[in-house]
Structure 1
Amino acid sequence: MRVMLRATMDTEKANELIRGGKLQQLMQETMEKPKPEAAYFTTNDGNRACYLVFDLQDSSQIPVIAEPFFMSLGARIEFSPVMNADDLQKGLSQLG
């Protein structure tokens, strides 16, 4: 299932990683697991945030994907099922 993960990072923890030159490495390692089809970096409620869109093949993947954000960044995480335009067309075609 295609999902979007939103990770809103704790500012102080992210600042520490940036000062130590480790945020870029952490993000690269974290994105190796879900292999997102898209990754966006922005702000959310005044904090650093990232959005990853990827295929969640099994719910057992959630801890492996989420824990680095929780443990290293003190992040708040949300997973949301999402559709691309093809998925929407397929779904709409099934409506009578």
Structure 2
Amino acid sequence: MRFLVKISFPVETANAAIKKNGLAVIRQILEQQKPEAAYFIADGGQRTAVLIVDIAAASDIPALAEPWFLALNASIEAVPAMTPEDLEKAGPAIEQAVKTYG
């Protein structure tokens, strides 16, 4: 299942990591995790990565989160995300909900 994952780094921790080895730790984690897409933004005054990842099972979440927690003291939010094809497949369930509750 695809997830949109927002990873925010405390300013002090990110500054220290950048001074130590540039962006090597971020590059290393991304090479290991192979997200479908990765974007970097400023959010709430913190350096933030926004990733699209495919997570096969809930037990895969620690493998995704722990490198960011340990290397950059990051906070992480993960939200399930659908492709247009996924939304199309969900159509009958949405229609049924409308009939029942709408």
Could you say which TM-score interval applies, normalised by the shorter chain? 0.7 to 0.9
- Give the length in aligned residue pairs: 95
Residue 3 of structure 1 aligns to which amino acid in structure 2? F
Question: Which of the pair is proportionally richer in helix?
Answer: 2
Alignment correspondent of 2:38: 39
The corresponding residue for 1:11 is: 11
Show structure 1 runs of 4+ deviating over 3 A: 93-96
TM-score by length of 2: 0.82
SS in 2 for 1:20: helix
Which of structures 1 and 2 has the bigger CA Rg? 2
What is the correspondence of 1:68-83 to structure 2 with a 5 Å cutoff?
68-83=67-82
TM-score (norm 1): 0.86
Gaps of 5+ in 1: none
Deviations 1:37-86 (A, max 9, x none): 11010011110000110110121221121112111211111111001222
Secondary structure of the 2:25 match is helix
Deviation at 1:93, TM superposition (A): 4.8
Instruction: Please report how far the alpha carbon of residue 25 of structure 1 lies from its aligned counterpart in structure 2 after TM superposition.
Output: 1.6
- 1-structure distance, mates of 2:88, 2:32: 29
C-alpha RMSD of matched pairs (Å): 1.5
Share of identical aligned residues, percent? 36
Structure 2 residue runs without a partner (length 5+): 96-102
